[in-house]
Structure 1
Amino acid sequence: MTNLTEIETAVLVVGYGPVGAAVACLLGRYGIETIIIDKAEAMSLQPRAIALDNEALRILQMAGLSDDSFPRLAIPYVKMHSPFVGQFGQVNTAGAIDGHPKLVTFAQPDLEAALRKRVDTLATVRVLTGCEATAITETEDGVVTMVRDGQGRATRIRSAYLVGADGATSFVRGVIGQNFTGQTYAEDWLIVDALDVPSPIDHIEFICDPRRPTPHMPAPVGRERWEFMLRPGETREMMESDARVAELLRPWLRPDELKIERRAVYRFHARCCEAFARGRIVLAGDAAHITPPFVGQGLVAGLRDAANLSWKLAAIVKGEALPQILTSYDTERRPHARAMIGLAKFMGGLVMPRSALQAIAAHGLMRGLRGVPMLRRFLDELGVKPQNRFRDGLFVKGRGGGLLVRGAQIPQGWVRLQTGALVRSDEALGSSFCLVGFGVDPGTMLPPDLRRLWSARGYGLVHFCHAGRPCAGPGTFEDVDGTLTPKAAPIGWAAIVRPDRVVLVDGPANTAAELVDAALNLLGDTRTHPARPEDAAVSGRGDVALA
């Protein structure tokens, strides 16, 4: 300890998996001094997570990843088969939402490599691998973390905040006294990833046979994955043998076609913490919640955490918001994470029925429900997927205009720059808060002093004009496909959008000053914009209605 090194940073991230890397990418984009540590010397090359939805791809876009940053394969539909009643379910995942495919498969090492490549470009982010947190102490003004490297050298890291993204066996979770609640499935599963499959399928299928449930899906670059539930008496050693793997894959591949990338036995979990934060220490990803794989939402949930948490930490560190806003991270994220776990458990019941009788009853019921046109549309078009909309949190409650929903993300479409280039509309919004005008320049609706204050913070002013209209002036973009105006909001409307693209408040453009006042007071910054007594209800309850 005589050679103890001490370093300081604004945020320390423990865990350099995909969620920790996404947090670091976002914090780096916001200009926050960040250190990320991981006890592993190098990135794992084992494929684990395999599915991402349009929400996850949009978050990766926010983190700075382009469409070609890692290979991905769009999935047109997901089918569910029963040996007793035939196909009883199909989810249509073709097409796009918010400028991204509804569902893709990928290889996790490819995604992690892309995230780490992005981290390497960020001047404010420092990576320390081969370093393990051994003790964490929260103080009045920060967090002190003792770190030891592979040679036994100790470092004390002082940070204003700490993010535990250190996985299902999280050390950080134990430090803040959080225990997982939920269930561990009694069944083990053999996961087999194969390379260079000669005739890969083009969709995801679930073979829901009580004798051996088997999810099966393609992945980029000729990969495929199978998941086989173990039967009573089958052991890890037995199932991971070459002979058993070849036997299980015989319906799809000849022995001479086998090129196995990975085989491993896992046990699935459905668990969630009672709180995602304590003081200056917060949890993200598998450290906070574990989702069974039946709906492909495990990593997606962690990326949602990263997007929700990172901008709030940045706003607090920059002094643009009071520390109390961090409580909204748990308020906003935990209910949705629990809802996704609930959906995964429901799907698990369909995938692995306990008996033939249960399979006939459950699968037959689902097939019958699909015979009703309205229910079929609901089931086939992802109607059962919990929407990522907040009931409570850091937004002004009330009803807005058009399709905008306060506490939910603004739709993303394609907009034209004045150079003629097309970009997704999130690129126009930038990386901070943004006052958006629909068919009107929102800056012209603000008093000069308020506009100067807004711009001095680096907050954006964006005007989306509808397709075919002359669009001139700074911050003006043509909404070429009508996603934003008039579909999302009527002409003459305005909204304030958070850095994670959630609508904080909206209203008529001529109330833009009131919208800005409501947003600043909700953030609680009193340095350059003192809260007025009459605005106490806004910052305290967040339920001002701006019609």
Structure 2
Amino acid sequence: MSDATELVDQTCDVLIVGFGPVGAAIATLLGRYGVRTVVVEREEEIFMAPRAIALDNEALRILQMVGLPDDAFEKLTIPCVRMHCPHVGEFATLDTSGDLDGHPRLVTFYQPDLERALRAAVARSPDVTVHTSVEFVDLADDSGSVRATVRAVGSERCATIRARYLVGADGARSKVRALIGQNPEGTSYVEEWLIVDAIGVAKSIDHIEFLCDPQRPTPHMPAPGGRTRWEFMLKPGESKESMESDETVRALIAPWTSSADVTIERKAIYRFAARSCDRYRVGRVFLAGDAAHVTPPFVGQGLVAGLRDAVNLSWKLAWVLKERASQAILDSYDEERRPHAAKMIALARWMGQLVMPPTRARAVLLHGAMKLLRLIPGLRALTEDLRIKPQNVYPEGLFVEGKGAFTRGAWFPQGPVRRAEGAEGAEGAVERSDDVLGPGFALVGLGADPSASLDAVTARAWAAAGGSIVALSAGAHLGDRAIAAQALDERLMPGRLRPAWCVVVRPDRTILHDGPAAEADRLVREALLEIGAMPLVTREAA
């Protein structure tokens, strides 16, 4: 990492504007793929106050793909979310206990810890250069590249960075977004909220609770390091100055803890927003995270959505730059991510109506109806089993259309596996299947070694496209040409699969194609055609 004193004109493959968690995740992934990347960040140091506080299993799986070990930053597992109304009592409970795809369904965390872990991962990549205390000024199209002007903070010294592609991960007030003419569509909430983060609460709760009181809605949750967060909605006439005073803050948290128990770590007024751009790509410029979409915090999906952007976009840029895929695949970033982000924003807005009913009558009607609906098993499962959460499944995008045993455009499940003796890695150790699949494409055989069905030319083209071959079995290891491992539960080896099956999995773990293992050659060729890599087959055949 360098500061502004080392700023000079330079060229790179990808320029990232913004070094928050989303920008850092993109930089880390691009670095793992060997893409020459430059990051510019206006601030010199990590902003130390906590901001985002929740991550779900999808976000944790993405951080696994980024390369962060489980202990890279501290997390607190949340068993449930409870919603309480002062007039009808508890009207909804969300069960967030247990694991999904190898990770807890919901955790809280301390954002500076995550950012430190991500920046440490970036620092280990020789292909990524980071400039702090450098602000992004302007950009222009420059015949097959982007020409960006950047400036050292506090001076007039500018430099030019030429990049094949530029990613704006510079937050909700994104300058990149403004320069490419993308005005986010949506609304800002009228209501303002006081966020209070404290350390040392003597008897903190172990779950997340929403106190949905029309007089003063209050989400309340624990976090690692003995932290607790409250969010208090301001009433009409309450000012920022009065609400942020020590006296007011102490009075607000008094029902949970005495003033002697805690140290106030942060107090700040926010106005939430629900917005999304109508395009996440304009030419060679992409938007990610809050620069592309802003989600109200009521379902804890703001940073999670940004991490989904990071893992979706990074491999596509890398494969195009490495000439392993056609530039056309870059269009699928917007096609896949924008609709799902919009669904999450809609869910957060709906949740906001439950959290902050405007009147007592509205609270009784709305919360009472929710409480009655819990008596119907099917409807109760929508909330308690998190079925109301939009699944990360793309109705359209970069996958072969059609039906198979798996849902194409959805994530391939992750489960525990044990590698065959003599295979690369720790012999006999139980690990997560994503780590066995590797960072690129994977042809996964379920109950068969799909390499046995591949033509030699197809196999070489698959390898040239960054593809590995993995053979999973429920018992004995299969074959000796693929990476062999034993699946230790039914997530990866569902009993319904007859005959043996294989799945083509993208680097972001999205299912690209699937079909009988005996037809692996056809499946791989169709997958290569989908990503525009069929010239690799022609090249190998020549």
**Partner of residue 300 from structure 1, selected from 284, 299, 304:** 304
Contact 1:397/1:406 (8 A) holds in 2: yes
> SS of 2:403's equivalent?
coil
Q: Does 1:89 align with 2:92?
A: yes
The AA in structure 1 aligned to 2:419 is: L
Of all paired residues, the percent bearing the same amino acid is 53
Give how far 1:375 is off: 1.2
Q: Which moved further from structure 2: 340-349 or 446-455?
A: 446-455
Q: Give the structure 2 partner of residue 162 of structure 1.
A: 166
Q: Give the structure 2 partner of residue 492 of structure 1.
A: 500
Cα distance in 1 for residues equivalent to 2:185 and 2:497? 41
The AA in structure 2 aligned to 1:415 is: V
Q: Does 1:361 align with 2:365?
A: yes
Give how far 1:489 is off: 4.6
Give how far 1:256 is off: 1.1
The AA in structure 1 aligned to 2:289 is: G
Q: Which moved further from structure 2: 226-235 or 518-527?
A: 518-527
**Partner of residue 425 from structure 1, selected from 398, 412, 433:** 433
Contact 1:496/1:519 (8 A) holds in 2: yes
Cα distance in 2 for residues equivalent to 1:185 and 1:366? 23
Contact 1:246/1:258 (8 A) holds in 2: no
After TM superposition, the structure 1 = structure 2 runs for residues 181-260 of structure 1, keeping only pairs within 5 Å, are 181-260=185-264
> SS of 2:46's equivalent?
coil
The AA in structure 2 aligned to 1:465 is: S
> SS of 1:252's equivalent?
coil
Cα distance in 2 for residues equivalent to 1:98 and 1:55? 8
The AA in structure 2 aligned to 1:429 is: L
The AA in structure 2 aligned to 1:119 is: V
**Partner of residue 469 from structure 1, selected from 472, 476, 499:** 476
**Partner of residue 340 from structure 1, selected from 341, 344, 347:** 344
5+ long unaligned stretches in structure 1:
532-547
RMSD between aligned alpha carbons? 1.4
Q: Does 1:309 align with 2:316?
A: no
Give how far 1:356 is off: 0.3
Cα distance in 2 for residues equivalent to 1:59 and 1:10? 23
Q: Residues 139 and 203 from structure 1, CA distance in 2 versus in 1: closer, same or farther, beyond 3 angstroms?
A: same
Give how far 1:321 is off: 1.3
State the Cα deviation string for residues 438-496 of structure 1 (Å, max 9, x = none).
01111111011211222234310000111x32456350010012321125855510111
5+ long unaligned stretches in structure 2:
1-5, 421-426
Q: Does 1:456 align with 2:456?
A: no
Give how far 1:4 is off: 9.2
State the Cα deviation string for residues 179-205 of structure 1 (Å, max 9, x = none).
011110001000000002111100000
Q: What is the TM-score normalised by the length of structure 1?
A: 0.94
Cα distance in 1 for residues equivalent to 2:323 and 2:268? 47
Q: Which moved further from structure 2: 136-145 or 355-364?
A: 136-145
Q: Give the structure 2 partner of residue 443 of structure 1.
A: 451
Q: Give the structure 2 partner of residue 38 of structure 1.
A: 41
> SS of 1:174's equivalent?
helix
Contact 1:50/1:108 (8 A) holds in 2: yes
Q: Give the structure 2 partner of residue 379 of structure 1.
A: 383
> SS of 2:509's equivalent?
coil
State the Cα deviation string for residues 106-129 of structure 1 (Å, max 9, x = none).
011011011001111111111111
> SS of 1:5's equivalent?
coil
Contact 2:203/2:257 (8 A) holds in 1: no
The AA in structure 1 aligned to 2:156 is: G
The AA in structure 2 aligned to 1:514 is: R
Q: Give the structure 2 partner of residue 351 of structure 1.
A: 355
Contact 1:269/1:292 (8 A) holds in 2: yes
Q: Does 1:131 align with 2:139?
A: no
The AA in structure 2 aligned to 1:280 is: R
**Partner of residue 481 from structure 1, selected from 482, 486, 489:** 489
Cα distance in 2 for residues equivalent to 1:201 and 1:325? 46
Q: Give the structure 2 partner of residue 415 of structure 1.
A: 417
Q: Give the structure 2 partner of residue 535 of structure 1.
A: none
> SS of 2:164's equivalent?
strand
How many equivalent residue pairs? 526
The AA in structure 1 aligned to 2:160 is: R
Cα distance in 1 for residues equivalent to 2:499 and 2:442? 17
Give how far 1:102 is off: 0.3
Cα distance in 2 for residues equivalent to 1:359 and 1:4? 56
The AA in structure 1 aligned to 2:509 is: R
Contact 2:477/2:484 (8 A) holds in 1: no
After TM superposition, the structure 1 = structure 2 runs for residues 536-547 of structure 1, keeping only pairs within 5 Å, are none
Q: Residues 489 and 68 from structure 1, CA distance in 2 versus in 1: closer, same or farther, beyond 3 angstroms?
A: farther
Q: Residues 103 and 489 from structure 1, CA distance in 2 versus in 1: closer, same or farther, beyond 3 angstroms?
A: farther
**Partner of residue 281 from structure 1, selected from 285, 290, 309:** 285
Cα distance in 1 for residues equivalent to 2:465 and 2:403? 28
The AA in structure 2 aligned to 1:343 is: L
